[in-house]
């Protein structure tokens, strides 16, 4: 009886030791996993990692491990098994040590690195090309080429368009660093289509966008836009030349003759966009208009105005409108006096 009791005690002690050993081993494993997953690790300087579409979680972990972003590809894959998240391809920027769990969560939510590209209202393809190059998203030349070569993107809207001018909607875009010019112009045209659909621009798209581009360049005051559009609309109905400087300037830019200021000789230069010499609309848009100008071109005010001039004495920059040439001349004289009073050359 005593022997059986001693054996039972030995068996109990042995079982307790095994349990303690198991607990200790589990603790070690848990500590190891926690170390791999929770302890910050990674580069101190900017490191870009491009994760290709279709890569497995283990392959993604291997790429991250090779780049020095995570300690172990296997620990990273373990998180994928535990959380069952869907990892998203793309380029990621890592610039500080971080726990592997943080890296995993960023990739699971698709926190890819992008470059902001801000396109203001009234920018033309030359302006946009310069901004694209400044943002490091390609060369000026590649963008200008794409703006011509990808004109098929708007063939249903404007069958005779020579470029995407007018259809590159001004907005703030975010692109991956490796985006090419074709992707950039496609995104801008897509945004234009969405806005045009919201505004109800379905017919006479070429005329609406061309007039909107002129309105955009002629005034920055929303309240004046429908009035400026009415001037163009009235002149077109009377078959009068539009006589708008922005179209002249655009023709000079296309020809590589723009000198940064418009001269009297420029108004006499025979380009297709010279609306002093040629009645009717210019061949196409001269800039990329925003919502307010598109709406003004679509719904111009009902007026008898045939002329307008910027009111230099008005701090808000409002234009002065006239129905007759004599009234317009008085407005011009008042404008010149205001400019002289302000000390402008």
| Mean pLDDT across 249-253 | 94
Mean pLDDT on 215-222: 92
**What average pLDDT score do residues 122-137 get?**
97
The tens digit of pLDDT for each residue in 264-273 reads 998 889 999 9
Question: Span 11-18, mean pLDDT?
Answer: 56
Is 313 a residue whose pLDDT tops 50? no
Determine the pLDDT at residue 15: 56
Please report the pLDDT score of residue 26 as a whole number.
Answer: 47
- Where does the pLDDT of residue 125 fall: very low under 50, low under 70, confident under 90, or very high at 90 and above? very high
pLDDT at 238 over 50: yes
Q: Would you state the pLDDT for residue 280?
A: 94
Q: Which of 91, 130, 97 is nearest to 110 (CA)?
A: 91
Q: What are the Cα distances from residue 23, in Å, to 29, 82, 280?
A: 10, 21, 87
pLDDT at 13: 56
Summarize pLDDT for 46-65 with one digit per residue, the tens: 899 999 898 888 889 899 99
**Pair 165, 273: CB distance under 8 Å:** no
Strand pairing partners for 322?
307
CA distances from 165 to 6, 132, 330 (A): 95, 15, 35
pLDDT at 122: 96
Res 199 pLDDT > 50: yes
CA atoms within 13 A on the CB side of 98: 16
Cα(195)–Cα(289) distance, integer angstroms: 11
- Check residues 117 and 329 and name the one with the higher pLDDT: 117
Question: What pTM did the predictor assign?
Answer: 0.81
CA R_g for the chain: 33
Q: Which domains does the chain have, with CATH numbers?
A: 33-113 (3.30.1490.480), 118-305 (no CATH)
Look at residue 71 and give its three-state secondary structure. coil
CA distances to 20, 24, 34, 35, 38 from 31, rounded to whole Å, are 16, 10, 5, 6, 10
């Amino acid at each position: 009886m005593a022997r059986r009791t001693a054996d039972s005690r030995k068996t109990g002690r042995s079982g307790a030791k095994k349990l303690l050993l198991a607990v200790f081993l589990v603790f070690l494993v848990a500590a190891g996993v926690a170390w791999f997953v929770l302890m910050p690790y990674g580069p101190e300087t900017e490191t870009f990692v491009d994760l290709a579409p279709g890569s497995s979680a283990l392959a993604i972990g291997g790429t991250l491990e090779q780049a020095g972003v995570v300690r172990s590809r296997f620990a990273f894959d373990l998180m994928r098994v535990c959380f069952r998240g869907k990892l998203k391809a793309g380029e990621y920027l890592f610039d500080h040590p971080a726990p592997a769990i943080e890296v995993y969560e960023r990739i699971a939510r698709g926190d890819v690195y992008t470059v902001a590209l801000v396109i203001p209202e009234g920018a033309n393809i030359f302006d946009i090309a310069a901004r694209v190059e400044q943002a490091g998203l390609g060369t000026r030349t590649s963008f200008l080429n794409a703006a011509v070569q990808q004109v098929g993107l708007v063939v249903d809207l404007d069958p005779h368009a020579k470029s995407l001018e007018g259809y590159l909607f001004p907005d703030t875009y975010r692109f991956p660093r490796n985006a090419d010019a074709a992707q950039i112009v496609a995104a801008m045209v897509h945004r234009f289509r969405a806005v045009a659909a919201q505004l109800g621009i379905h017919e006479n798209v070429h005329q609406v966008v061309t007039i909107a581009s002129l309105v955009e360049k002629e005034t920055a005051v929303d309240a004046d836009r429908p009035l400026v559009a009415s001037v163009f609309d009235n002149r077109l109905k009377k078959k009068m030349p539009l006589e708008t400087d922005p179209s002249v300037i655009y023709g000079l830019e296309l020809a590589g003759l723009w000198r940064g200021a418009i001269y009297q000789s420029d108004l006499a230069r025979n380009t297709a966009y010279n609306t002093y010499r040629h009645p009717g609309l210019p061949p196409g848009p001269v800039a990329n208009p925003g919502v307010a100008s598109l709406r003004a071109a679509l719904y111009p005010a009902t007026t008898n105005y045939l002329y307008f001039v910027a009111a230099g004495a008005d701090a808000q920059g409002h234009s002065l409108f006239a129905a007759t040439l004599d009234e317009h001349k008085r407005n011009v004289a008042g404008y010149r006096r205001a400019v002289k009073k302000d000390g402008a050359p």
